[in-house]
Amino acid sequence: MTQTIAIVRRILLVALVVSLVGTLTELLLLEHFEDAWQWAPIVLLGASLLALGVYAVERGSTSLNVFRALMVLCIVSGAAGVLLHYQGNVEFELEMYPDLSGWKLFRDSMMGATPALAPGAMVQIGLVGLAWTFRHPAFKPAAGNNSTED
C-alpha cells in the first residue's frame, strides 16, 4: 500500500508541475499582466514553482507548508478569476446589446471573448497541490520520515 501511495504521489507531482509550467507559460504568452488582478495568477504560479524547487533541495516541511498556503491562494485566485472574467464579459455584452438579460446574457457572457471558466485551472492546480501534500512524509516526525518519497 505504501508503494502505491508513493506512485500516486509522484503522478500527482508530475501533473502538478506540468499544470504549473503550462499555465504560467500560457498566461505569459497571452500577456496576462495588464493590471494587478491579472498578475495574481502569474505570481502565484511562479511562487509555487519556487516553493517546489526549495522543497526539492531541502526536503523539509516548511517549504511544503508555504506551498500549501500557495495552493489555497491558487484556489481563491481561480474562483476570483472566474468571477472577474464573467463580469468583464457581462459588461462587454451589455455595451453591445443593452437590452440583453436573463439566460441569453448569461450564456453569451460565459461564451464571451474572455474565457470565463479558464481561471478554473487555478482551482485545479490548487486541489492537485493540496492532494499531493496530503499526509506527505515530510510532515512525519524525523525518525519516521522517508525523505526519498516525493
* 78 within a domain of the structure (yes/no): yes
Q: How many structural domains are present in the chain? A: 1
DSSP state of 35: S
Please give the grid coordinates belonging to residue 135: 499526509
* 70 within a domain of the structure (yes/no): yes
Measured distance CA(2)–CA(9) in Å, rounded: 10
Residue 44 has pLDDT above 80, yes or no: yes
Return mean pLDDT, the chain.
94
The model's pLDDT over 65-109, given as tens digits with 9 standing for 90+, comes to: 999 999 999 999 999 999 999 999 999 999 999 999 999 999 999
Res 143: pLDDT: 56
Q: Which string of DSSP letters, residue by residue, matches 58-70?
A: H--HHHHHHHHHH
Residue 50: pLDDT band with limits 50, 70, 90: very high
Res 140: pLDDT: 84
Distances, alpha carbon 53 to alpha carbons 24, 97, 106, in Å: 16, 49, 41
* 68 within a domain of the structure (yes/no): yes
* 92 within a domain of the structure (yes/no): yes
Query: In the chain, how many H helices and how many E strands?
Result: 5, 0
* 149 within a domain of the structure (yes/no): no
* 127 within a domain of the structure (yes/no): yes
* 150 within a domain of the structure (yes/no): no
Q: Which domain holds residue 85?
A: 2-144
* Residue 55 near residue 67, CB atoms below 8 Å: yes
Residue 49 has pLDDT above 60, yes or no: yes
What residue has cell string 504521489? 9
Please give the grid coordinates belonging to residue 18: 506540468
* 28 within a domain of the structure (yes/no): yes
Res 144: pLDDT: 47
Q: Report the 10 Å Cβ neighbour count for 16.
A: 24
